Amino acid sequence: MNGPASPRRPAPGPTDQASPRPLPAPARPPLPRPVPRPMSRPAPPRPVRAAAPEPPGGSAAPPLDMEKLLAARLHAVKVRPYLADALFALHVVEDRSVPTMAVDRYWRCYVSPAFVARTPVEDLAGVWVHEVSHLLRDHHGRGERHARAHEEQGPGAGDRAAEDRSRLRRNIAADFEINDDIYGDGLPRPAGAVLPSLLRLPPGLLMEEYLGTASMTGLTAELAWLDCGSGADGQHRPWELGPEGAHGLTRQQRDAVRFRVAEGIKGRPGDAPEGWRRWADEAFHPPQPWRQLLGAAVRSAAGAPGAGENHSYRRPSRRSAAVPGVLLPSLRRTPPRVCVVIDTSGSVSDAELGGALLEVAAISRAVGGRRDLVSVVSCDAAAGIAVALCRAESMTLIGGGGTDLRSGFAQALRSRPRPDVIVALTDGQTPWPSAQPPCRTVVGLFPRPARAVHEEDPDYTPAGPPPWARVVTIG
C-alpha cells in the first residue's frame, strides 16, 4: 500500500516564475571635502538715521504723545492769541532724528517723541511759539540772503564744516532776535534758551545786526546741539520732506497766514510786545528797494521812445540818396535832460532833504554821468530858478514855507532846453498840475501817514499823485 500522498506544489504559472536575486547597490563614492575659499568682503552697512537719544533706563524711545503736544499748542494759543492762526497752520511730523523740535520753510514742524516725553507742557508751549516765530519773521529767506552775501563767496565756501558753523551762527542770531521778547506773561522760558546777554549784546536787534556785531566763535562749540531746522537759517536738513513732501504750504498760503497774524496784532496792539508790533507794521508795508526802483524809473523814462531824440545835420540821413540835391537830417538820440523838483516846504525834514540831494547825484549817474544834463529846482509855495548841477559847487536848497509843486513843474518846463524827464521829490502834501506835462514824470514820495495834519481843516486829506506819473515810495 502506498502511504498518504504528500501535498504537491502547484506547477509554477507564468507569473510565479522565480525572479533573479537583486544585485547589491554599488557603493556611493565619498563626497568631496569643501575647498576653503577666501572670505569675501562684507556688504557695506545700510545708512541709517541717527536715532534720538534714548531716555534714561535703556528702554526704547517712547511713541509720540500727540495729546500732550497738542495740549501745549492750545496753551500757547491761550497766552498768545494773536499767534493762533500761525500755530494752527503748522503740520506735525514725527521724526526721531530731530534733536528737539524744528520747522522747515513749508510750515512743517518736526518733533522728537523723546523730547516731548521729557518736557513739561508749559515749556512745550514756549517751544511752539519759538518755532513759529522763525517762520513768521522769514528767518529762512533772510538766512539765505545773508549766506549769499557774506558766506558763500568767502574762503570757507564749499567746506562742510564751515557751512555747518555758518548755519549755526545764523540759527543763534535768529534765536537772539526771538527770545528777547516772546517769553513771560504765562509763557516760561525753556531751559537752555539762548539770549543776547550771553555775548553781552543789547536786546531788540535783528538777526542781521547780531550777525554783524558778534563772531559767536565761543557759542558755536557750546550750542552745537541747537537745530531749529531750515526754517531758522535757510539750510536744508536730512530729515526734511522738501518742497514735494506732503502737507506743505504754498507761498501764497504762507503769505496769507502772515497777513492774518499781522492783522490780529494791528487790531489789538496792546496784547503784543513792541517787537511784534514792529513786525506787523512791516508785514502790512514791506520795505521796498526804493533806490533801485527810483533808478529804474528814471532810466526807463530816459530811455523811452522820444526822450532825447532830435533831428541833426551832423550826419546826413541815408535817405538823402533818394532825393538828389537835398540834404536830409538824421534822427539822433542824445542823453536826455532831467529836471529834479525838490519839495523844500516846512513839512520836509532836513534828513529827507539830504536824501534828496543824494538822489540827485544818483540821477546824474543814471544819465551817463552828464552833470550838465541835470538841473535842480527848489520849490515850496513858490519855485526858485533851475540850477544846473554842473554849475552848483555846493547845492543850496531854499524854502521852508507852504507847498505847491505846480509852480515847480511850471518852472521846470520854462527852462531851456526843455527837460525830457521831470523827477519830483516830495512828501505828497501838495496840489498837482491839472494837465499832464509834455514829458515823462517820476514822483519820489517821502513816507507820510495816510491822514495829514492841517491846522485849519482837520478833515484835510492830501490828493495822491496823478495817474500819469510813475510813483516810487522813498525810505
Single-letter code of the amino acid located at 352:
E
Smallest CA-to-CA distance from 421 within 345, 349, 343, 364 is with 364
**Whether residue 354 sits in one domain with residue 236:** no
Cell output for 223? 550750542
**Whether residue 240 sits in one domain with residue 294:** no
Tally of domains in the chain: 2
Contacts of 87 (CB under 8 A, 6+ apart): 73, 76, 77, 80, 128, 129, 132
Contacts of 214 (CB under 8 A, 6+ apart): 173, 199, 201
**Whether residue 196 sits in one domain with residue 256:** yes
**Whether residue 274 sits in one domain with residue 357:** no
Q: Is residue 21 part of a domain?
A: no
* Sign of the C-alpha dihedral computed for residues 346, 347, 348 and 350 taken in this order: positive
pTM of the model: 0.56
**Whether residue 295 sits in one domain with residue 257:** no
**Whether residue 337 sits in one domain with residue 280:** no
Q: Could you give the angle at which helices 121-136 and 139-150 cross, rounded to 10 degrees? A: 60
Smallest CA-to-CA distance from 449 within 205, 285, 225 is with 285
Q: Is 470 helix (H, G, I), strand (E, B) or coil?
A: strand
Range of the domain at 438: 290-306+332-449+459-473
Smallest CA-to-CA distance from 253 within 398, 350, 108, 367 is with 108
Cell output for 125? 508751549
The Cα diameter of the chain in Å comes to: 180
C-alpha separations of 404 from 321, 386, 434, 442, 450 in Å: 53, 16, 13, 17, 19
Q: Is residue 32 part of a domain?
A: no
Cell output for 446? 517821502
| Element at 133 (helix H, strand E) | helix 121-136
In the beta sheet, which residues pair with residue 241? none
**Whether residue 128 sits in one domain with residue 235:** yes
| Element at 25 (helix H, strand E) | none
Tell whether omega for the bond before 417 is within 30 degrees of 0, i.e. cis: yes
Residue-wise DSSP of 235-296? ---TT---TTSTTPPPHHHHHHHHHHHHHHHHHSGGGS-HHHHHHHHHHHS----HHHHHHH
- CA distance linking residue 460 with residue 468, whole number of Å: 23
Single-letter code of the amino acid located at 139:
H
**Whether residue 93 sits in one domain with residue 114:** yes
- CA distance linking residue 325 with residue 333, whole number of Å: 26
- Please give the DSSP secondary-structure letter assigned to residue 27: P
Q: Is residue 434 part of a domain?
A: yes
Instruction: Give the CATH number of the domain where residue 397 resides.
Output: 3.40.50
Give the phi and the psi of residue 102 in degrees, each rounded to 5.
-150, 160
Q: Is residue 24 part of a domain?
A: no
Q: Is residue 17 part of a domain?
A: no
**Burial grade of 154 (CB within 10 A; 0-12, 13-18, 19 or more):** exposed
**Whether residue 222 sits in one domain with residue 208:** yes
Q: Is residue 264 part of a domain?
A: yes
- CA distance linking residue 332 with residue 357, whole number of Å: 31
- CA distance linking residue 295 with residue 365, whole number of Å: 9
The per-residue pLDDT for 158 is 58
Contacts of 137 (CB under 8 A, 6+ apart): 174, 177, 178, 207, 279
**Whether residue 216 sits in one domain with residue 81:** yes
Contact 407, 383 (CB under 8 A): yes
The per-residue pLDDT for 54 is 46
Q: What is the mean pLDDT of each run of 10 residues along the chain (475 residues)?
A: 50 51 59 55 45 45 89 95 94 93 95 94 94 94 86 56 84 90 85 84 88 74 82 89 89 92 84 85 70 70 59 74 78 77 85 81 74 84 73 63 86 86 87 88 78 54 80 79
Q: Is residue 326 part of a domain?
A: no
Give the phi and the psi of residue 472 in degrees, each rounded to 5.
-130, 125
The per-residue pLDDT for 392 is 46
Cell output for 211? 550777525
**Whether residue 338 sits in one domain with residue 205:** no
Q: Is residue 248 part of a domain?
A: yes
Single-letter code of the amino acid located at 425:
L
Contact 468, 436 (CB under 8 A): yes
Q: Could you give the angle at which helices 160-179 and 121-136 cross, rounded to 10 degrees? A: 110
Beta 330-333 vs 470-473: how paired, if at all? Answer: unpaired
**Whether residue 258 sits in one domain with residue 369:** no
- Straight-line distance from the first to the last Cα atom of the chain, in angstroms, rounded to the nearest whole number: 156
- CA distance linking residue 315 with residue 472, whole number of Å: 39
Smallest CA-to-CA distance from 265 within 128, 81, 75, 449 is with 81
**Burial grade of 168 (CB within 10 A; 0-12, 13-18, 19 or more):** buried
- CA distance linking residue 293 with residue 444, whole number of Å: 10
The per-residue pLDDT for 404 is 86
